[in-house]
Amino acid sequence: MKTFQIYSIVSGMSYFLWWWGFYFLLPFEKVMNNYPEVILHHFWIPVNLFQVLGLIFYYLFITAFIQRNFQNTFSSELIKVLTAIAVFGLSGIAFYETFLWPDIAFNSPDLLLLKSSPVYNGILFLSSTITVIFSFMISGIYIGNLMRKESGASGIIFSIGIFLFCMGYSAGEFRYAIQSVGLSGWSIALVYYGLIKIPAKRKEFDSLPDTQKEST
């Protein structure tokens, strides 16, 4: 098992535990109408620490994966930029949700009511979130395609999962249902990718000229 596969497993498991911990350990039914109460729950920080852990190991996995699979082409360089935007943006989201939101929820709960929050409905917040999510979706689909060449099903499921999770942000009342399917798919795909052996055909892939690897 390669080191980057261990990163993949830990990231996938952490994200899975974060998302479903949100459902089962926190009062999820209060998210839309009383989000501050959810944030002030005693399991808020422990659950969100799984998000932080998942992100750290996703960064380690993606860094190693890019070094292993990306070539010096325009598309690869563009995906590297989008991946950097996504990782840094998601890092910011994980940080403020885990460590800053509890203090704000305690002192100024009206700022975090989802339906009327000046934070969540502000132009700066919305535009930055859209940029991060779009970057995450495009880079994730591209990376999933490269994963597919090594592991088949996990790459396909990863790409579909990323797509569903990101598009879920615009799905209204169906948002969390769609995102649950998407995140479960991509996290399970990461674990599966980490557990499989790199197939024998990987040697043939490595022996190809650089210009052919991404088109294979």
How much is the pLDDT for 209? 55
Residues 6+ apart with CB under 8 A from 142: 75, 79
- Give the model's pLDDT for residue 205: 47
> Residue 143 contacts by C-beta under 8 Å, 6 or more apart in sequence?
62, 65, 79, 83, 158
User: Residue 104 and residue 94: Cα distance in Å, rounded?
Assistant: 15
**Residue count of the chain:** 216
Q: What pLDDT is recorded for position 214?
A: 47
Q: Which residue type does 6 have?
A: I
Burial class (CB in 10 A: 0-12, 13-18, 19+), 147: buried
DSSP 3-state of 32: coil
Is residue 178 within 8 Å of 136, Cβ to Cβ? Answer: no
Average pLDDT, 10 consecutive residues per value, the chain (216 residues):
88 96 93 92 96 94 87 86 93 92 93 81 88 95 90 91 95 90 96 75 49 47
**Tens of pLDDT along 15-26?**
999 999 999 999
Model pLDDT, residue 197: 67
**Amino acid 215: pLDDT:** 44
pTM of structure: 0.85
pLDDT recorded at residue 117: 79
Q: What is the pLDDT of residue 67?
A: 85
For residue 184, CA distances in Å to 149, 157, 165, 171, 181 come to 21, 10, 9, 17, 5
Report d(CA 125, CA 117) in Å as an integer: 11
Residue 133 amino acid letter: I
